[in-house]
Structure 1
Amino acid sequence: MMGQPPCAAWEGKLALRSSDLSHADRIALNAHVAGCEACRKTQENYYLMDQALRALPRSYSRPDPGPALQAKHKKVRASWSPRIISMQDRQPVSIQRAAALRVPARPKTVKATAMLLVAATILLFGFLSILNTSRASGTALLTFNGQNDYVSALAWSPNGRYIATGGYNHTVQVWDAATGQVVMTYTGHSEPVDALAWSPNSQFLASGSWDHTVRVWQAFTGHTVEVYTNHSSEVSSVAWSHDGKEIASGSGDHSVQVWQAFDGHLVVKFIGHGEFVNALTWSPDDSEIASGGRDGRVLIWNSQTGVVRLNHIYAIGYTVDALAWSPRDQTIAIGGRDKTVQVINAQSGKLLFVYRGHTEDVDALAWSPDGKYLASGSWDKTVQVWDAKNGLPLFTYQGHKDLIDVLAWSPDSKRIASGSWDRTAQIWEPGT
């Protein structure tokens, strides 16, 4: 029996991805869905259908661009310059998260049409579960359900004792990594928490939110030390310098801002991307920052002056969603919408490895503290662990039921914590 239809007033917005909604519409829709079961189910079904369409070969779901668009992309590839090109112009139709993706252009063949309808319908009504059977391994030691919503931020304290999670319920929770018991809950944000970072001494926690702020908390009292308000859009990434003095925050306002952690004094405002900044990471000596975003580039720049040293193109038309600088050497891992993980030399920009094990967007990356392994989390619901020396895949963890948004290693490099849209955070051991 079919469920109740969604509210007519919200049906059009439910068909869009969150990134395609205005700030006001996103807030209103989130509030409505929280109290309307029919619309929540419809939103989830749209997501499942979207994933089914994206899983099909491109030849079935990607329309041929017209001559004008082909010429435009050819010109872009031939004469690219650091000046930002609109992502609407550059992004392939097959990866745009708009309603047009869910109702793709007419496929070329009857077979393609059938595959689209079957895949979408089957996943939409729950008759099929697709499992990745390659190198499945990893044992869940603890599952934390306390966030009660999508887990969109996660950080493991440097002393190894605590994990902080943030989510769409606007809260930050600090919990014991051994027992899962909640130690502290912070409630200062008014929108989803999208980024977390511990201070090196494990005494403070920084949280970035869609409410445009970064809050610095005293970790075990919940006292607010600083509220940074210089961003004019969602804060999507936060990273604490290794010396504990500064915080870098990236935002939808196209900037990365470096500021003093305990008084909010601005050190440098970097605006080299010209698009939404999704990810950033400090170099091991704190002299540089690597940042990436919707312009498909990774920029490495001086953390005190903002002068760019290296400009690396991840993939034309594909968003950079995750960055991680190895703690042991000059290598940077990059993940994003083209479903690969690239590892580059941070000094030269030379491409060292490309990992192709995921079947969906790579949304999270984390190096083990000993520098031997790299973990990647994806919309394909898996976490994959790679050998840092040769790029070979070692383990695949399949304990989550929805996309993986965040990852963190334990300080001893033995365990991994992963946060997912299945509303859980899980601690597990690779390969056991």
Structure 2
Amino acid sequence: MKNICRIIGSALILMPVFAGITARSDPGDFSIRFGLGYDFVSQEYFTSSSRYDTSLTADPDLTDVALLSKDYLDDKKGLVYLKIDPKAEGRYIFEAGWEQTPEMLRAVGWGHIVLGNHRNRLETDLNFEIKDRYNGEPDAGEELSIVKGKVRYAKKLSETIESSIRIYAENVAFDSTGSFIYDYSRVGSEAGFNILSRGFNSVFFSAGIEKRNVPDSGLLDYTLVRANLGYFGLVAESRISVDLTAENKDFNSPDNQNDYLLTTLYGDLKIPADPNYFLKPLLSLEYFNFKNDDYVNDDYVLAGGGLLLGRDYDRLSIAVGPKIELHSIATDFDDDDDYLEYLIFGSIDLLYSDRILCLFENQIGRRGYKNDPLYYSDFTFDRISLIGSFKIAGALNFDLLLSAEWEWHEIEADDNRFYLLSSGLNYTF
């Protein structure tokens, strides 16, 4: 794999030269993007040698509590991406990229081709990724290659009805495998239709099948069947979105072990309460039904709801309100992890032309466990997330992804903090 990475790196260095030669006679769109990035994932947690001693009563003031910290990722990287659109129409796009940290190399590529017109359209996508450690010994599963692609054909049956067929495949190969790390391949197909009214109301349906093959562990092979039905549009001047999905996964294991049926329902309704204000009820429901109930896999229901009050400005949208989440598990144990979570949710969405995109969310709440389970304790939490893209000047762009969560438990040994940061400063010319 090291030789492959070197070849790709050399090709990326030479591509701007050839692109500069061809650009004189071809009117196509060619761009080069250079940048710097920083990725960080860390967790802080407490530990106590007596926390799970069943002979003792859980004490919120344990004296042997120690704070531990683990950084899962702390990488500074440089990157270069080359992108070409020969006809500058978005119908033929090819992109190749190279990312390098002090320990790792990552080469990626992407191709997108569109044939036909709005009535009969064929779309093809192909992606590849190669990761290689050049400094130090790699861990199992760290070096890998991924190749995946999809083909989608869409046909207009009428002015309001469109049908589509999609076929996709993926292959993941690791340089070294270990426990729970296996090469695998997936292949699947899906068919569906979309009914779009003149008022841009949309009803969509799709159904498909997927198979996974794991050569070194046949028990992980599975067949998955999925169906999805949804609606997006207006009802009495209120915008509604509803999505219903059913998924059946059948593993190649005896006695239906790990096989399940998953049903999910998501919905929200945006009700105008004033020219600028709105109410937004939220609903979510998830039901996990395992075909073989055992001490590891138990059926459960996860239900949630909320009511947000918001205001829309020209480029800004703000919403705030209460939300709840209920988790109920079907088990014979008295100390199961059924819980009720309630919180205050706030969000700020800012979109300013093509210069600023900022999506911020904050959740402050509490989770209480019904049956005082041994391995969990009630806690108060604060969760924040931020997605941002900022055009600083000209072709200089800064991208940011930030997520953080703090948990303060009744038993200090259960306290937990989690941080994720991904950022990049890019210049395109």
Normalising by structure 2, we get a TM-score of: 0.28
Kindly indicate which of the two structures has a greater share of residues assigned to helix.
Answer: 1
Larger Rg: 2
Normalising by structure 1, we get a TM-score of: 0.28
